[in-house]
Amino acid sequence: MSLPGNAMDSLSAALKCNIIPNQEYLLQGSVLDQYVEVLLHRLRGLCDNVDSGPESFHDHEICFSLRIPNTAASTPMPMSIFSLRVRRALDVSDTPYQLRYIGQQELGDKNRPTVVRSSIDMACSSTILEFLTELGCRIEFEYIARGYMFRKGRMKITVSKIFKMGGNKPESVEPISQSYLVELSVLAPSGQDAIGEDMRIFAEQLRPLVQLEKIDYKRLGNIM
């Protein structure tokens, strides 16, 4: 029987072998409410989970951030910000909460077909909200997403409606727009850029119903 390895050692070994899926490849777009049915229908035909039909979800996402003023003068930003997202399912009880770190968008090559950003995704216990608050995080924003999830090989396609939180009751929410958010994403170990090409081809098949594009957050003036 072998000795149990130190957890940190095995993690760094896994990092070295590059088997941890810590890169997210992402394309985003939107579709108006009245055409969402057509899109869903097309996705049903294109995606893997054909016979079971689309998988629905109803999630509550809260974005937390840790921030401290930057003392080093050389850095361009006045604050160091570290944001973490917590997601929990509202429609299924007993599922673990999901904690997610999303890094800066990688600049890289302009010709890259998708947004690439680092991402650490993990399941966690329901104490996470209290844990983050105690850690010094504060709530940045929160929303409710309700929609459908499709799979195509490694790709994940979500079509969801985003709702503003209205008060404390989950029923009193209002949609933020007249359209649905469409996201095409893959979580993969770094360096697997070929997947970007697959995603571009898939996105091509959804035109002209929805234009999936790489969104530059900096241009949106968003502090992500």
Whole-number Å distance between alpha carbons of 146 and 159:
8
Whole-number Å distance between alpha carbons of 21 and 19:
6
Asked if residues 156 and 144 have their Cβ atoms less than 8 Å apart, the reply is no
Tell me if 102 contacts other proteins by CB under 8 A.
no
Asked if residues 181 and 160 have their Cβ atoms less than 8 Å apart, the reply is yes
Tell me if 95 contacts other proteins by CB under 8 A.
no
- Please pick, from the candidates 39, 43, 86, 128, the single residue that binds other proteins as defined by CB under 8 A: 128
Tell me if 135 contacts other proteins by CB under 8 A.
yes
Sequence-ordered list of residues with C-beta below 8 angstroms from that of 6, at least 6 positions apart, any chain: none
Asked if residues 168 and 149 have their Cβ atoms less than 8 Å apart, the reply is no
* Per-residue binding letters, 48-87, with other proteins (x by CB under 8 A): --xx-x------------x-xx-x--------x-x-----
Token pair 């921030």 is found at 67
Tell me if 45 contacts other proteins by CB under 8 A.
yes
> Residue 3 Cβ, how far from other proteins at the closest point, in Å?
5
> Residue 16 Cβ, how far from other proteins at the closest point, in Å?
13
3-state secondary structure of 161: strand
Contacting residues toward other proteins, per CB under 8 A: 1, 3-8, 11, 15, 20, 22, 37-38, 41, 44-45, 50-51, 53, 66, 68-69, 71, 80, 82, 99, 101, 103, 120-125, 127-128, 130-131, 134-136
